[in-house]
Amino acid sequence: MKFGVVVFPGSNCDADCYHVIKDVLEQPVDYIWHREKEIKGYDALILPGGFSYGDYLRTGAIARFSPVMPAVMEFADQGGLIIGICNGFQILLEAGLLPGAMLRNRSLTFICKPVWLKVQNEATPFTNQLQKGEVLQIPIAHGEGNYFCDPSTLQSLKDNNQILFTYCGPNGEEDDIHNPNGSMANIAGIRNCKGNVLGMMPHPERCSEEVLGGTDGFKIFASMLKWCQEVRL
């Protein structure tokens, strides 16, 4: 399974993602610079975290018009797997590949800490190695992760099982106390209608090895590999 990590000016989690795919998942991976206009031969793309274009205007707003983006949209359209992490999620929202938008965290502070996530839908290319209701611990690191959408969009996200991860407590409590940023319905990660594009604020690449204190994040990359090997191919 071949991965591509899309690198924008200001991406800063690109090397972490590359490392996890190459050395932990042990799959081939390339960096794809944002000026590339063609994306060929990949099974999955990672839009990594960071501060593309310095977060100018709005997070992801400028990256969304990078030369590589039409090819990313086409890749999504053709059913390729895309995972947008943190700033990558923000870019997917700005590009309209996922519904909604990000607001400033309600605390107005940049939050960098491990949080708990509840798996809401295990039947996806990104979560098939997880159980529904399973609680994961994955770190967040963002200033604008306060997910917002209008009520009808929220309803359709729920109706189509598009919410994959919600913020929760260590025992799965989905309450406001364990909502770190004010996200609507505690949303931490959603997929598109078709199911091949995931955006999530937490960083699975930062907890994919024991040496980093946890391996919950690895299960997401392992799910993508499993799906690609068994379902798609």
The residue from 54, 74, 77, 107 that contacts another protein (CB under 8 A) is 107
Which one of 86, 149, 168, 228 is the catalytic residue?
A: 86
Token pair for 138: 């994955």
The DSSP call for residue 209 is B
Compute the distance between CA of residue 214 and CA of residue 210 in angstroms, rounded to an integer.
Answer: 5
Compute the distance between CA of residue 7 and CA of residue 52 in angstroms, rounded to an integer.
Answer: 9
* φ and ψ of 120, to 5 deg: -100, -25
148 binds another protein (CB under 8 A): yes
Between 33 and 65, CB nearer to another protein: 65
Compute the distance between CA of residue 96 and CA of residue 25 in angstroms, rounded to an integer.
Answer: 29
Annotated catalytic residue 26: no
Which one of 17, 94, 203, 228 is the catalytic residue?
A: 203
Binding span for another protein by CB under 8 A among 46-54, 118-126, 146-154, 171-179: 146-154
Compute the distance between CA of residue 7 and CA of residue 24 in angstroms, rounded to an integer.
Answer: 20
Annotated catalytic residue 19: no
111 touches 180 (CB < 8 A): yes
Binding span for another protein by CB under 8 A among 75-83, 100-108, 123-131, 168-176: 100-108
146 binds another protein (CB under 8 A): yes
Binding span for another protein by CB under 8 A among 58-66, 70-78, 115-123, 159-167: 58-66
Least distance from another protein to the Cβ atom of residue 171, Å: 28
108 binds another protein (CB under 8 A): yes
Going by their DSSP bridges, the two strands 111-119 and 197-200 should be labelled as unpaired
110 touches 201 (CB < 8 A): no
Count residues binding another protein (CB under 8 A): 21
The residue from 24, 30, 31, 58 that contacts another protein (CB under 8 A) is 58
185 binds another protein (CB under 8 A): no
Between 34 and 219, CB nearer to another protein: 34
Compute the distance between CA of residue 80 and CA of residue 154 in angstroms, rounded to an integer.
Answer: 25
The Cα-based distances of 219 to 65, 91, 223 in angstroms read 31, 23, 6
Please name the amino acid found at residue 85: I
Between 57 and 112, CB nearer to another protein: 57
Annotated catalytic residue 203: yes
Least distance from another protein to the Cβ atom of residue 54, Å: 15
β-bridge mates for residue 138, sequence order: 115
Please name the amino acid found at residue 99: P
**Residues annotated as part of the active site:** 86, 203, 205
Site residues (vs another protein, CB under 8 A): 57-58, 61-62, 65, 93-94, 99-101, 103-108, 146, 148-150, 182
